[in-house]
Amino acid sequence: MKYAAVKRAYDVISPAYDFLFDRIFHAGRVAAVSHMRITPGQRVLEIGIGTGLNLPLYPRHCHLVGIDLSRQMLRKAQERVEHLSLANVTLLMMDATRLTFADDAFDHVLATYVISAVPDPVQVLREARRVCRPGGTIVMLNHFKSENPVLGAFEELVAPLTTKLGLFKPDLALTPLLEHAGLIPDQVQRVNALNGWRLVRCINRE
């Protein structure tokens, strides 16, 4: 998977993204934001904010920075910021593998439906650790490779196609990912339809 392919894919689907992915994944989004337990004045980074579907879920007493690689997705997110009159939100176009923020800049980092859609998920999580303060939370919501041998084999079979299209890697395994990124899960919960997605919360122990 290459960044140009990812950017192109999400630029193309941005007009239909909300229609395709809003309601079906909404429950997981609600759970992901609530698992951060955001308190007044805290700083939150959302990696891959997309069209801003999570924006209405955040408390207005936090300072939210949302980044994305797709300019078209960010335009949609900016429209949502303006529609909701969110003065506490900043949107930036940025590569999640090379965050321009200082170390320990955020209290929480969130990535929903993003980790399997980036070319280097380990580096993204390492960057998330770097910019998250010690004791802060890193929350990701994603589809990971099934532990069922039959489903896992099918995910490996279709992975070359979805990866080439720049969409996502259905065969991304959770445990090796966390180990390589140096993260220990504090909580893992299955969410959404058929419990096919996992919500993972880690406490940054650096």
Q: Are strands 197-203 and 185-191 parallel, antiparallel or unpaired?
A: antiparallel
* Stretch 24-30: mean pLDDT: 91
Are 139 and 199 spatial neighbours (Cβ–Cβ below 8 Å)?
yes
Domain extent listing, the chain: 3-203
Name the percent of the chain lying above pLDDT 70: 78
CA distance 73 to 22: 14
* Stretch 182-199: mean pLDDT: 90
CA distance 206 to 28: 27
Q: In whole angstroms, how far apart are CA 26 and each of 33, 77, 173, 201?
A: 11, 16, 23, 18
Q: Give the pLDDT band (50/70/90) at residue 119.
A: confident
CA distance 40 to 115: 27
pLDDT, one tens digit per residue, over 45-79 is 999 999 999 999 999 999 999 999 999 999 999 99
CA distance 96 to 14: 19
Candidate CATH numbers 3.40.50.970, 3.40.50.80, 3.40.1670.10, 3.40.50.150; the one for domain 3-203: 3.40.50.150
The crossing angle, in degrees rounded to 10, of helices 71-84 and 3-21 is 40
* Stretch 31-41: mean pLDDT: 97
CA distance 98 to 91: 16
Q: What predicted TM-score, i.e. pTM, was given to this entire model? A: 0.86
Name the percent of the chain lying above pLDDT 90: 67
- What phi, psi does 46 have (nearest 5°)? -110, 120
